Amino acid sequence: MLKILKYSFYDLMRSRWSYVYFLFYLLLGFVLLFLNNDLSKAVITLMNIIIILVPLIATIFGVMYFYNSREFTELLLAQPLKRSSIFMGQYLGVAGSLTLSLCLGLGLPFLLYGLFKSGAILNFSMLILIGALLTFIFTGLAFNIALSNENRIKGFGYAVLLWLFMAVIYDGLFLLTLIAFEEYPLDTFSLAATVFNPIDLSRILILLKLDISALLGYTGAVFKNFLGTGLGFLISAAALLLWTVLPVWSLSFKAKKKDF
Amino acid sequence: MSQENRHYVFYILLLLLLGITPVRAGTIQVCPDCDVKSIQHGINIAQERDTLIIKEGVYAEFNILINKPLTLLGQNYPVVDGNEKGEVFRIVSDGVRIEGLFIINVGVSYTSDHAAIRVVRSKDFQIVNNRFENLFFGIFLEKSSHGVVDSNQILGIARDEYNSGNGIHLWYSNNILVKDNNIEGVRDGIYLEFADTIRIRGNQSRKNLRYGLHFMFSNDNIYSDNLFENNGAGVAVMFSKKIRMTGNRFRKNWGPAAYGMLLKEINDAEITGNLFEENTVGINIEGSNRITYRGNNFVSNGWAIRVLGACYSNAFSRNNFLHNSFDLSYNSNVNDNSFEGNYWSSYSGYDLDKNGVGDVPHRPVKLFSYIVNRTPETLILLRSLFMDLIDFSERVSPVFTPDNLVDSQPQMRLIQ
């Protein structure tokens, strides 16, 4: 597995897309910091960008890589290798290289602008952590989609749809439900509903940092317990980790059964 | 120097001497080892305008009555221990000064408002540099006027509203200066009821159960340069007229019913140069008219300003709204207030003619704030892409938000 991971990783590191991705974040970081010199404000802006953009890129890139390396995968499958290690290796290679681009791309400008000397270090590490988790989650989901669909066009379609659903449509449906059932107590529901969407979960983690004063304005006791204490942070973080494990597990399960 | 001038000097010197002589008349030393062992005894034997010098020590006394003009001067903060039996000092005479005492253990009562120092129907009092701990009410001014409450430290341990008192309580009092006091852990830091022409300056009011400063039916007051932090609500101004609020700081008043400032039925007030930072609601406005808001900073609040009905002819100008979750929230789509020339960090327009004023009007009310007003649970969708999209479409063509609620001169730069 490690060998395949290494191969995928180096392959990707040499590829143009990794550089484009890396340069994009580098540019974003520098432009943001150039426009306003305040590190903590730049972190806030980045958070908004990251929870939307990272899933999109991870999904598209995951699907693309899987389809492109299909022939190589088939070659590997002919060798006496464990199936799970082949797919896991590829998955970790893709997710790892994407995460590396993210870390370096954003890390460099912030380091140059004196990250360690500012109070934003904690927020920034959380931002990177959330970015990494989202990369792993959405690459995993993308691999699942690609594995289930032989047809590339279909696969891409589903992948984009998945992103659109998680990033926009889910919240729309969520809002409609909340308004339709506004007569009922909805605290528990609204908290539960966020758990089923990794993008919402990341958003909550960020809200807990940024908008805590607004969130405490709501009177519900469940909300207050969840948001006002460390509990909310712990539960969201745990759920996010669960989201990382689930696609991987389903991937290895599917890979075992798949007939190539 | 002419003859005439010399006469003047002589008369002035004479007057000064006459003026000083009675004051110097008596100082009475009070200490545990002196002839005079209790403060009450000292007061009883003192002549008018005497000074009682109270030396370091513990004086277990309560219901001390000061019924003549005296100066009580504590050295090294002598402890006056009320043993939780009742009120400690009661001043019923004009011209009393109390300085440098450390008053503790005021009795809690459910039938009368025991205070560490109560001033009743008196004038020209000065309460300076005292410390209060474990108290019910701190300084209670009742139908008194022309006094000074300066540099006192009040430290309570209030837990419930029903059995705690206020730090400085003014009732039917006027022309009083309350300055540089430090109040913590009581019900209301400073409370005014039917108290007019009061000046409140440079106080720090923190961690109080209810309000840092509370006005009821009190007109023509000025409060400036105070700090209100971590209170149930910073300042509540209710049913009062012509209040000036300048240069105060309202910070970290967090919670479901916590406000930096709560305005209810306030008319003709002036709110300038204040800082509202990290409050759940910066200013909550209800039924208040003709108020000028100018040069205030609203930074990182949940809601910078929340307007709840029946507010007319208020003018907001040259304020900074920085990084609030919601800059402004309205619960109706009618607007009679003006928002001109403010700086909004959420403004997304441009300034092509470079005159420092944005070319596109800014709409500070988000559709989302309406939705949250209606269904509070939707707050969890704050900052989601979907919300940004519908906010954007509402901004382009307003349906739910007041059509005329725009800042037509949004500033491009932070207003200093």
pLDDT beyond 70 at B6: no
pLDDT, average across residues B29-53: 90
Backbone angles phi, psi at B36, to 5 degrees: -95, 110
- CA B123 distance to own-chain centroid: 22
Average pLDDT of chain A to the nearest whole number: 85
pLDDT, average across residues A202-226: 72
Dihedral (Cα; A185, A186, A192, A198), 10-degree rounding: -170
Lowest mean pLDDT among A206-220, B146-160, B315-329: A206-220
B369 to chain A: closest CA residue:
A214
Looking up tokens 């143009």, which residue turns up? A16
> What is the model's pLDDT at position B23?
42
> What is the model's pLDDT at position B10?
59
Other beta carbons within 10 Å of A143: 27
- Span B96-124, pLDDT tens digits: 999 999 999 998 888 888 999 999 999 99
Say whether A218 and B376 touch across the interface (CB within 8 A).
yes
DSSP code of residue B381: G
Nearest to A175 among B281, B323, B378 (CB): B378
Give residue A45's pLDDT band: very low, low, confident or very high (50, 70, 90): confident
Q: Give the amino acid at A160.
A: V
pLDDT beyond 60 at B21: no
Domain, as residue range, for A8: 2-257
Nearest to B280 among A169, A190, A216 (CB): A216
A208 to chain B: closest CA residue:
B380
Give residue B310's pLDDT band: very low, low, confident or very high (50, 70, 90): confident
Provide the number of CB pairs (under 8 Å) joining chain A to chain B: 100
Q: Give the amino acid at B402.
A: P
Element (H, E) at A200: helix A198-210
Give residue B22's pLDDT band: very low, low, confident or very high (50, 70, 90): very low
What do you get for the CA distance between the two ends of chain A, in Å?
19
- Span B392-409, pLDDT tens digits: 888 888 887 787 888 999
pLDDT beyond 60 at B127: yes
> What is the model's pLDDT at position B126?
95
Q: Which pairing describes strands B222-224 and B64-66: parallel, antiparallel, or unpaired?
A: unpaired
> What is the model's pLDDT at position B13?
55
Chain A residues within 8 angstroms (CB to CB) of chain B: 41, 44, 48, 52, 167-169, 171-172, 174-175, 178-179, 182, 186-187, 189-191, 194, 200, 203-204, 206-207, 210-220, 223-224
Mutate to test the interface with A, among B280, B305, B379 (most CBs of A within 10 A): B379
pLDDT, average across residues B53-71: 92
Q: List, in sequence order, every residue forming a beta bridge with B183; answer none if it has no partner.
A: B154, B205
Complex ipTM, two decimals? 0.82
pLDDT, average across residues B356-368: 90
Average pLDDT of chain B to the nearest whole number: 88
> What is the model's pLDDT at position B1?
47
Q: Give the amino acid at B229.
A: E
Contacting residues of A for B385, CB less than 8 Å apart: 52, 167-168, 171
Q: What whole-number distance in Å separates Cα of residue B185 and Cα of residue B208?
A: 5
Give which of B154, B106, B150, B115 is closest to B129, Cα–Cα.
B150
Measured in residues, chain A has a length of: 260
pLDDT, average across residues B286-305: 92
> What is the model's pLDDT at position B11?
60
Contacting residues of A for B322, CB less than 8 Å apart: none
Say whether A213 and B385 touch across the interface (CB within 8 A).
no
pLDDT beyond 80 at A130: yes
CATH number for B24-187 (one of 3.40.50.720, 3.30.1330.10, 3.40.50.150, 2.160.20.10): it is 2.160.20.10
DSSP code of residue B55: P
